[in-house]
Structure 1
Amino acid sequence: MEPPAHRRHSRFPRSTHFSRQSFDTRSLDDHWEDRSSRPKSMSDFQSLLDASASVNGNGHPRKKSSISLAQGLMMTTESPRSYSLPDESSVANPAPQDGPWSQNLFYAYAQKSDFAQSAPYILTFASARTADEWWSLVQREYPESTRPGPQLFILKGDDMQEQIQDNPKFYDLRNSWFYTPSESSTAPIPLQDYHGHPVTAPPPPKPEPETPAPDSKTPFDFHALETTLSQMTALITQNTESIHALSVAQSTGLQTMQDINESTSTQIKALADNQASLQSLVSQNATQHLALSNHSFSAQSSISDILSSNAAHIAALAEGQSRLVETCTDLMRGVERIGSGLEKVGERVDKVGEKVEGREKGLWEEKSMASAAQEVE
């Protein structure tokens, strides 16, 4: 069954302007070969360095020259960089002694063996010969360092670069090299061999033209050309239909996104209005709460004043009551004193009455005796 038109894969580049000369003539095998040739581990990178070092030797040259050293050194986050130092007997690729030296700048990477997880440093030399002299001094002063490839140095220690710069043995080369820390934005260094020459793949051998037999003439195959043109026309038509379908889908998607944006804008506006109303209600509530707090404070102050006044009145009433009790006590004492005085007066009156009665009785007796005497006479 033939797949639908919108799912067909075309070898034409996606662009707004289409021409017959813009399609890609490479096959899928070439694309897979480009992807499979990229290094993904330290062993692949070692093979890459071996291939680059064997260009001037007897080995086979590399097939792809577009692979950079930075791609070999950049390890993925899924597989951490961890490798072991090679033995002294297996120091890879000693520098060849024959061949001319390039006078161009020579670039290399310097990796710390004790800190394999850290990013490598970029070494820049005035020339490949300077790099070779520098490496000879490093081998004499720091034997644990290794050089697996022409552009990779493995240095032992954390601050090996500072130690090398401070070492007086390297004083003559102080102005011929320097190092910089590599970053993700730094461009990869160019591929070079031990002598500083750029590493490029040799041109493919030209195919020898086949000489036709002198007696037989090969006629031009117009039928094959028509077939090829028909296939190209069909591919162009399919690609045009796919582009049209993609354009329609894109237009539909844009319209849907516009509708969603309008709906979202409406909802956001409604939310903003609701938030403004809520903010207004909160402000009113805060104002009313402040007024209620002020009124409550005033009422509480008034109640406190009234309670203070009542307490003062109660204290005055208590003081008046105590004075009234004292007055009543003094009055009772006065009444008692008056009663005692009245009793004394009564006693005196009784005594006076008795005296008056005695005088009256004596006068009566005198009068009786006088009257009796008169009668006697």
Structure 2
Amino acid sequence: MTSRAPLSRKLSAIAESATLKVDAKAKALQASGRPVISYAAGEPDFQTPSFIVDAAAAAVTDPANYRYTPAAGLPVLREAIAAKTLHDSALEVTPAQVVVTNGGKQAVYQAFQTVVNPGDEVLLPAPYWTTYPEAIALADGVAVEVFAGADQEYKVTVDQLEAARTDRTTVLVFVSPSNPTGAVYSPEETRAIGEWALAHGLWVISDEIYQNLVYEGARATSIVEAVPDLAAQTILVNGVAKTYAMTGWRVGWMVGPTDAIKLAANLQSHLSSNVNNIAQRAALAALTGPQDEVETFRMAFDRRRRLIVDELAKIPGVTVPNPLGAFYVYPDVTGLLGREWAGKTPTTSLELADLILDEAEVAVVPGEAFGPSGYLRLSYALGDEQLLEGVQRLQRLFGA
């Protein structure tokens, strides 16, 4: 009997999302009765605002939503996204330059598929969101990591990018505010990187999904606002998940030059067709409705941010840069490695995260998911009481 043909080598090389894996493990332990506190998932704990839910409920009764709609998205939603892009990113686009996707993750995937050719090198500032290198690999590209540590507040410089650039470099990934670090590039830093990318003819994929979650007077300056001429070679990806507590609704989008967006729309017409119409109507309500609850969410995140930074800083051996955006803190924990804790001596942040889960019943994501070892990502998108209790468990474990 002839053995079957092998499975896809490309997909076999793709790793499961590390953040989702840790979150699933934490939820399984919670379901078994263990009092695990999880900082793993990048998911707001707030309820989706009621006016958005009401818009979705009304959409359910409209027969127009029971049929196929344009693969690139409802025209009225694409218009609203164009308006948001002008307001928040200072980029004027037409609805034809927008594709509505199944969450920001599909937008990221399609962006790489659109601009990466086999063997192209993609400069990927690290620490990075765990999906980026896998999405680059799925586009047959080569991710080239450019690392900036806590001493640089996790922000790469033009000199670092230039040192990593080769004649095969075609794309730069730019993320501000950052997942996993919460770092926000200043307008000057953003402009310098944008001008460098423009000078070398690079495509830029800029993930702006956290642009409305900034603190201490910081502003997430879009790279196309800092360098307007870069718009012809930039794809912006965004979505409603983080700002509006709509992770499960799965609505994101990509914005870019007409020719690139046309390719992405063609891909989506074969990949998934239109996004669920009910969810699109909910996203339309989110973008065009009152924004007061968004500000309430942001203020709550800010309070939690200050609390978790202050409390983590009390642990000897932990260095905590101050995150100015998103809802993550990314402490440098190299000072905890190579030392004995609860009878164990972790030498990597992966081993340290396992020890923390076993001994303190706290779930964190190790730095290996985002680049080099020696770091942990903690999301502070969870209730205030749980947030404080979890950090206090860490303080007890590490003798703070």
* TM-score, with length taken from structure 1: 0.20
Higher helix share: 1
Higher strand share: 2
Higher relative CO (CA 8 A, sep ≥ 6), structure 1 or 2?
Answer: 2
* TM-score, with length taken from structure 2: 0.19
